[in-house]
Amino acid sequence: MRVRVRGYYEHKEVPAEGKFYVPIACQQCEDAPCTTVCPTGATWQESDGIIVIDYDWCIGCRYCMAACPYGARHFNWGEPNLPAEDVNPNMHILGNKPRTRGVVEKCTFCIQRVREGRMPACHEACPVGARKFGNLLDPDSEIRYLLDHKRTFVLKAELETHPKFFYFWGTEGRS
């Protein structure tokens, strides 16, 4: 395990010398330890595979945070302070609806977008197109092609959480 001493991102320019970048989000595990441990059943896997949280049912015990091997869950320690004008009115009750203090939240693959057939916001925002997103069950999808033709890996494969978040080498010469 590589140890990061300072937690927060501190470089003015990227890529910084000697650094290797691994963006992380919720891995949308097929066998998600976070949902098993939740005492109230406030978090579960949707039929399309997305792990969601019912923010109205969560009691904030944070057992799921202890269970998640990827640091993907975040707790609202204080009062959220997103200004009203920055709130996205296109909401999903299991996705980007405003969370209250005292509940856990996480990445939902932008459920409010992908359920409408759009791409997740991170996918759309990435300037170099490093992110791919799609239906794993569709044999003709781009994501399926990448999984079949590129060298891919998942994080902490030994835990058998079976993430649906893959890393691949996109540069031909290095794959």
Partner 1 sequence: MLIRNLKLFAHFVRGSLLAVASGSRGYYIWLLALGILIALGATAYGNQLTHGLITSHMRDQVSWGFYIGNFAFLVGVAAAAVVLVVPAYVYNWGPIRDVVLIGELASVAAIVMCMLFVTVDLGRPEFVWHLMPIVGTPNFPHSLLTWDILVLNLYFLLNWFVVTYILFTAFKGRKYNPRILLPIIFLSIPFAIGIHTVTAFLFTGLKGRAFWHTALLAPRFIAGAFCSGPALIFLIFRVLRKFGRMQISDTALFKIGELLAYAMAINLFFVGTEVFTEFYAQTAHTVHARYQWFGLHGMSSIAIYTWAALCFNVLALIIFMVPKFRLNMNILTLGCVFSFSGIYIEKGMGLLLPGFTPDSLGEIYEYTPSLNEVTVGIGIWAVGALLFTWMARVAIAITAGDLRHATVSRQIGP
Q: Which does 5 bind (CB under 5 to 8 A by kind): partner 1, ligand SF4, none?
A: partner 1
Report the sign of the C-alpha dihedral through residues 82, 85, 86, 89, in that order: positive
Minimum CB separation from partner 1 for residue 94, in Å? 16
Instruction: Specify the stretch interacting with ligand SF4 by CB under 6 A; choose among 7-15, 30-38, 117-125, 135-143.
Output: 30-38
Amino acid at 136: L
Distance CA 33, CA 79 (A): 27
Which of 130, 96, 129, 131 has its CA nearest to residue 112?
A: 96
Contact track, partner 1, 20-49, x by CB under 8 A: ----x--------x--xxxxxxx-------
Distance CA 101, CA 85 (A): 19
Interface with partner 1 by CB under 8 A: which residues? 1-5, 7, 24, 33, 36-42, 57-63, 65-71, 73-79, 100-104, 156, 159, 161
